[in-house]
Amino acid sequence: MAERDVTVGQLLLTEYQTVKDEQKTRIGFRDNLLYVTLTVVAAVIAAAAQARQTAMLLALPPVCVVLGWTYLVNDQKISAIGAYVRGELGPRLAELVQAEGAEVFRWEVAHRGDARRFSRKVAQCVVDLLAFCVVPLSGLVVYWVGDDVSAGLVVLSALEAVAVAGLGAYIVQYAVPFGAGSAAG
């Protein structure tokens, strides 16, 4: 075999590095989405308060749904990458080195056995629901109980409430262990 020939093991390690780089990028992007959401929410609330126009709060649901969905999709892909490394790459690499039962990429499994993992997952679900669902729904309630409510905007806001509720259902579905959405992680 010539020195420049590539082995299957090298390809698997390169694939591992590539998917871990993608995972790292997605983690940074996902985590920044919470900060972006908080900034946008603060800006919309400040603008609505300054203008004394509760109808401006109707901007919260579409923004939170788009940012929340993007957050959720990235979170799912992060988990899927971890599951792929644990279920595919690790075993294939262990097989190549003929180490039956040998653990490859141990961190991919070890950090999942933390005794506080469940409570962290629950807390993260609550944070996600607060940021992406409770805040925009609160904005809708403030609009609905306000003095300057129009029929057309009530219909629009009802549709927004349905979209936010749908996002909330997906957030919970993806957070529940062994649920359809969380199969990867």
Give the pLDDT confidence of 39-52 residue by residue, as tens digits: 999 999 999 999 99
Report whether pLDDT(185) > 80: no
Q: What is the pLDDT of residue 152?
A: 94
List the Cα angle 131/134/162 in 5-degree steps: 115
> Per the domain annotation, does 85 fall within a domain?
yes
In a domain, 68, yes or no: yes
Is residue 1 assigned to a domain?
no
Total domains in the fold of the chain: 1
Mean of pLDDT values over 10-25: 94
Domain region containing 163: 8-175
Whether residue 155 lies inside any domain: the answer is: yes
Q: Does the residue 58 lie in any domain?
A: yes
DSSP string across 101-154: T--SSTHHHHGGG-TTHHHHHHHHHHHHHIIIIIHHHHHHHHHHTSS---HHHH
Report the Cα 57 to chain-centroid distance in Å: 24
